[in-house]
Structure 1
Amino acid sequence: MTKGISMKNPSNDRGRRPRRLRPAHPGALAGLALTLAVVGACAPVESGGEQGGPPSVDPVDGGTLTIGRLGDVLSLDGNHIRANNYLLLNNVYDRLIEYDEDLEPHPSLAESWEVNDDYTQVTFDLREDVTFHDGKPLTAADVVYTIERVRDPEVGATQLSGLSNLITDMETPDDYTLSLTLSQPTPGIFDMFNFMAIVDQETVEGPDAEQTANGTGPYELEDWSPGNSLTLIKNEGFWGEEPLLDRIETTVVGDAQSLATQVESGAINVAEGIVATDASRLEGQGIEVVNDPVDMFYITANTTSDALSDARVRQAINYAIDRERFASEVMEGYVEPTSIFWPTRSPAHDEQAARTYDQDLNRAEQLLAEAGAEDLEIEIVTNASFPELEDMATILQADLAEIGVELTVRSVEAAEWAELATTGTYQDLAANIYGVDGFHPAYAFTISRPLTPDRNFSNVDDPRHQELVNDAILALTETDQDATVSALTDYMLDESFMLPISSAPRFSAVAGAGGITSRVGGGLVLRSAYVTE
């Protein structure tokens, strides 16, 4: 039995940057009994979300942090995992562990753990000083309930249900010990523990569940006016370091321009969800910007389209995308262009593979000729919620015209885009964002619809796709992990039905405040936040 997890991969021999595939097979270090340090267990683990601007002045003890956001939380349920809910999930609730930027787990509600050599058994020791906001002690029974609850598709935690269903037995020898048995080796099981907020059964099944949030985090819910505002107050009984803020007041702001204007004028402390152009302008004025690199821009190709059924045509489009121009002009240099679906902080990110489809119009034209694709006319549908995508498509339209391809650009509202993508009925290409930040590489293919072997947006039904994903999920040794992830990467690059563009960060501007960071997996972390005036 190996305690804790803190391992790195050795260099591989393929000439690529060494992957940091985590969690590695603990058997490789059997006998060393690595002990997980509990030092800092009460401090937040931050993702290192990039921040600009000058250093903040001395913090004020107390005060109110004001936040403007483009959208409200969708529910108060701690297991409803959606981007709009991250502010609530990260600050009202807690998870068992917290990943750092290298995707190494650190203590949170669990102060230590043990994992067997093949990742079929995990035992957690929970903190004994944690209470929910209503004063009820947190115990292992609450974790058991939450693990079972996220399996319910009605809850809204579909990202976790696959991993949860692999847990076949849960034992609680006492109130603060939990032993889990899994049906198969599951190196990625800690992804679930990093994302799954622990909830109280009585609250989420009670008559006031839709109006109540009862977590264990540093802030408690005071008031929620759906679609308008959310107010949090300090949790005086928080198990960790006492928050400095007394209150957090969030307000829904109608549009991105107004959001930027309000933080610029000092009307709010934080503008969550500004666009790259505003981020660059505000940062130039000395306003701090938090860059949360949690999502990715991408194009999905409908492989049942007559125009795109040949992989060489899809590869040609991949070569025609000017990712460098998109990154520098549209995204103001905040992002790195990439041809692969792994985020830059993923253990599987590969810098060489990321440059596979650097723009090459000559190669694109050659591939079209090899495929016999002449006088090609195709359409791309972009999600209007992300205007950057329409800019990207317009650039692609001009570049494809140079090699004889006519691209029509159509922007639709999010609901229509989702309907077209999930039913696979868009004509040729569709562009949106997706997120797999904080997930073990293999499990990204089980949670992200653009990547899944079944029900993907590209209408791909290839047994080889499923076989490669299965191989990666079951890989335990570092060598096997490297090999299976490399095979998946090569397959996706060759088939080119999912065309990544760059990271799609969420920007927040901060004025008159500090100590605000982003979490691995997404969202702002405010437990160390403070106001300065």
Structure 2
Amino acid sequence: MKHRLVTATLSSITAAGVAVALAACAPTAPDSAGAASSGPSDATLTVGTTTDVVNYNPLIGNSRTDDWITDLMYPRLMTVSNTGAKEAQLATKWGYTSPTQGYYDIRSDMTWSDGTPLTAEDVAWTLNEVKKDKPAGTFYGQLGDFASAKATSKTHVEITLSEPNSSLIDEIGFWGVVVPEHVFSKAGSVATFANDGKDGGWVGAGPYTLSKVQVGQSYTLDRAKNYPLVKGGEPIAAKVVFRVFPDVNTEILALQSGEIDAIGDALPPSQVAKLKSSSGIKVEEAAGLGYSHMVYNLDNPDLAKLQVRQALSHAVDYDAIRSVVLQGQATNDHSSPIMPVLKSYFDSSLKEYSYDPKLAASLLEQAGYTKGANGKFPLNFKLIYSLQDAVTSQWATIVRDDAAKAGITITLSGTDRNTYLAATNAGKYDIYAGNFAIMDDPVTNFTLAYLPGGAINYTHVDDPTLNALIKKASNTTDEKQKISIMQQANKVVYDNVYDNIMYTQNLFFAHSTKWTGFVPMPSDLLSIVNPVSLASASPVKQ
């Protein structure tokens, strides 16, 4: 049985250092979802994706396909619920014993695919090496106040913090994957280890292990014999194959023709109603825990001016995007990076930036810009986005056209996802358009998105007031105080347009009715291709 965990806060830690613990049994596919009970089969489950793998090393994963495939091999300590609460996976208990000491207790029944037991030593070693080698990505970004980890038994890991951080244990638990020490320690650095399988294949501890790669075509994974996180302890499908397609619409055609059994990507909103009524296809719904947004690169001297960012924020018809592109399958986030789904933190007093081209033009004039004879201001901003992201590709055009009504020129630069990610990392853009799949903890989210050096600080903002508020919230153990501080930080982001939050999308995933038992999760990063879901999926008896 799967239990929702109660979030523990440092405010409940006593001066004597009494342990705070969270516990839950392992998640399993619910019977109501059609989970199989017939045991392992000889079937192959084929899933569509739109990108190749960039990194096989899960500590430096880059594309969504990286995450999907490596998550099937390398376990996370926790997973996440529809409200952002953390739930057990490899970890069974976790919490704090003092403001600067935390811990994880892990399962004792998991092994790596080469037969080596998975122990607390693997967990501690992974955390310490990531801190030391600094691999690029979200995992390392979570470790700011992490000092060290030590395995004190085969199932217990002690965590030492450099200073109090009431979010760190949860966030490391979800975002950090565990890798086998006996494999990764052979590399000089976990930040540069290719983990490409050339030295005898891959060693994982998930439901499937990668066995064959055909770049541009497919990735084949074989079933593990031991995966205790699902009913029966063994995945049902014998193999999982990820097939690479150029875009989600081609994936849909492949699903309709029976070429694939499921699509990893969330469905374009325009396809949801059609696929719901299509014979042989089932559409699963999941909550969204992330948001779509635009950020304005402050390295551009024009965008460094507040009035220019404000003008851009008022040059977008947000309602039209949600109703036309999203088909009403999105929520208004009030232009706030702390979304309504995060109920205790959300500030309902904030209102969405209004669509007002005249106000946008007036703000630019106040900033000292003058329209030319062509009715345009002397501004031209490059907006980057992924062509594989069908929804963003559509609304990017609306953003361009709306901005033109205010006299602002936006040049669209849509590329394949991996090129887009490379441009993002290199800062080669004026406006970044995209989405963050999971924004579950405000303190951690702000640390990553708005502090200097943050892994997803695409605005390149360095605001002393904002920096101090984020740090203060991170060190605060009282939940009410932390909420108040984060709402102040949120207001700084909102007032300065350091981020332009467009919406949170309701997510829909499609699979063939020849398969059942999928477990939808609240993000397209988890989708219906998360480890428990694919291990639980079963072919329907004909």
TM-score (norm 1): 0.82
1:14 is matched with which residue?
Answer: none
1:310 to partner: Cα distance: 3.5
Q: Which one of the candidate residues 93, 97, 103 is aligned to 1:123?
A: 103
1:300 to partner: Cα distance: 1.9
Conserved 8 A contact 1:327-1:334: yes
- Give deviations 1:281-327, integer Å, cap 9, x for gaps: 32242633345635532222244555444423322321332112111
Conserved 8 A contact 2:290-2:438: yes
1:246 to partner: Cα distance: 2.4
Change (3 A) 1:436 1:188: farther
Q: Distance in 2 between matches of 1:106 and 1:420?
A: 35
* Secondary structure, aligned partner of 2:72: helix
1:452 is matched with which residue?
Answer: 451
**Matching of residue 223 in structure 1 with residue 223 in structure 2:** no
Q: Which one of the candidate residues 275, 278, 291 is aligned to 2:271?
A: 278
Q: Distance in 1 between matches of 2:343 and 2:16?
A: 22
Q: Distance in 1 between matches of 2:399 and 2:275?
A: 29
Q: Distance in 2 between matches of 1:434 and 1:153?
A: 27
Aligned residue type for 1:172: A
Aligned residue type for 1:288: K
* Secondary structure, aligned partner of 1:151: helix
1:199 is matched with which residue?
Answer: 179
1:234 to partner: Cα distance: 2.7
Q: Distance in 2 between matches of 1:102 and 1:390?
A: 28
**Matching of residue 101 in structure 1 with residue 82 in structure 2:** yes
Change (3 A) 1:486 1:261: same
1:438-449 to structure 2, matched below 5 A, reads 438-448=439-449
* Secondary structure, aligned partner of 2:409: strand
1:389-468 to structure 2, matched below 5 A, reads 389-403=392-406, 405-413=407-415, 417=420, 421-422=424-425, 424=427, 426=429, 429-435=430-436, 437-448=438-449, 451-454=450-453, 456-468=457-469
1:104-503 to structure 2, matched below 5 A, reads 104-118=85-99, 120-151=100-131, 155-156=135-136, 158-164=137-143, 166-189=145-168, 190-205=170-185, 209-211=195-197, 212-240=201-229, 241-242=231-232, 243-273=235-265, 274-285=267-278, 287-290=281-284, 293=288, 295-303=290-298, 305=300, 307-338=302-333, 339-343=335-339, 345-346=341-342, 350=346, 352=348, 355-361=351-357, 363-364=359-360, 367-368=363-364, 370-371=366-367, 373-375=369-371, 376=377, 377-385=379-387, 386-403=389-406, 405-413=407-415, 417=420, 421-422=424-425, 424=427, 426=429, 429-435=430-436, 437-448=438-449, 451-454=450-453, 456-503=457-504
1:260 to partner: Cα distance: 0.8
Conserved 8 A contact 1:203-1:214: yes
Q: Distance in 2 between matches of 1:229 and 1:411?
A: 28
Choose 475-484 or 109-118, whichever is displaced more.
109-118
* Secondary structure, aligned partner of 1:320: coil
Q: Distance in 2 between matches of 1:152 and 1:31?
A: 28
2:12 is matched with which residue?
Answer: 26
1:132 to partner: Cα distance: 1.3
- Give deviations 1:493-523, integer Å, cap 9, x for gaps: 1111321212367753211222223445622
1:341 to partner: Cα distance: 2.1
**Matching of residue 67 in structure 1 with residue 47 in structure 2:** yes
- Give deviations 1:430-480, integer Å, cap 9, x for gaps: 1321426154212223334xx333574435333223222212222221122
Change (3 A) 1:281 1:454: same
1:87 to partner: Cα distance: 1.9
Q: Distance in 2 between matches of 1:518 and 1:206?
A: 36
1:106 to partner: Cα distance: 2.6
Conserved 8 A contact 1:45-1:98: no
**Matching of residue 76 in structure 1 with residue 56 in structure 2:** yes
1:13 is matched with which residue?
Answer: none
Change (3 A) 1:484 1:172: same
Conserved 8 A contact 1:99-1:438: no
Q: Distance in 1 between matches of 2:511 and 2:329?
A: 17
Change (3 A) 1:508 1:60: farther
Q: Distance in 2 between matches of 1:432 and 1:285?
A: 32
Aligned residue type for 1:107: A
Q: Distance in 2 between matches of 1:308 and 1:75?
A: 33
1:530 is matched with which residue?
Answer: 538
Conserved 8 A contact 1:348-1:485: no
Aligned residue type for 1:352: S
Aligned residue type for 2:270: T
Q: Distance in 1 between matches of 2:291 and 2:95?
A: 34
1:205 to partner: Cα distance: 4.3
Q: Distance in 1 between matches of 2:427 and 2:55?
A: 28
Aligned residue type for 1:268: I
Aligned residue type for 1:232: L
- Give deviations 1:177-221, integer Å, cap 9, x for gaps: 221211111111111111222111222345994213322222233
Change (3 A) 1:5 1:501: same
- Give deviations 1:139-187, integer Å, cap 9, x for gaps: 111111111222355745x312244353334333322222121111111
Q: Distance in 1 between matches of 2:131 and 2:316?
A: 39
2:6 is matched with which residue?
Answer: 6
**Matching of residue 43 in structure 1 with residue 28 in structure 2:** yes
Q: How much is the aligned-residue C-alpha RMSD, in angstroms?
A: 3.5
1:51 is matched with which residue?
Answer: none
Q: Distance in 2 between matches of 1:396 and 1:215?
A: 43
Q: Distance in 2 between matches of 1:270 and 1:277?
A: 18
Q: Percent identity?
A: 21
Conserved 8 A contact 1:336-1:503: yes
Conserved 8 A contact 2:125-2:181: yes
Aligned residue type for 1:103: G
1:269 to partner: Cα distance: 0.8
1:400 to partner: Cα distance: 3.8
Conserved 8 A contact 2:35-2:518: no
Aligned residue type for 1:115: Y
Conserved 8 A contact 1:295-1:433: no
Aligned residue type for 2:57: D
TM-score (norm 2): 0.81
Q: Distance in 2 between matches of 1:258 and 1:417?
A: 20
* Secondary structure, aligned partner of 1:72: coil
Gaps of 5+ in 1: 8-21, 47-53
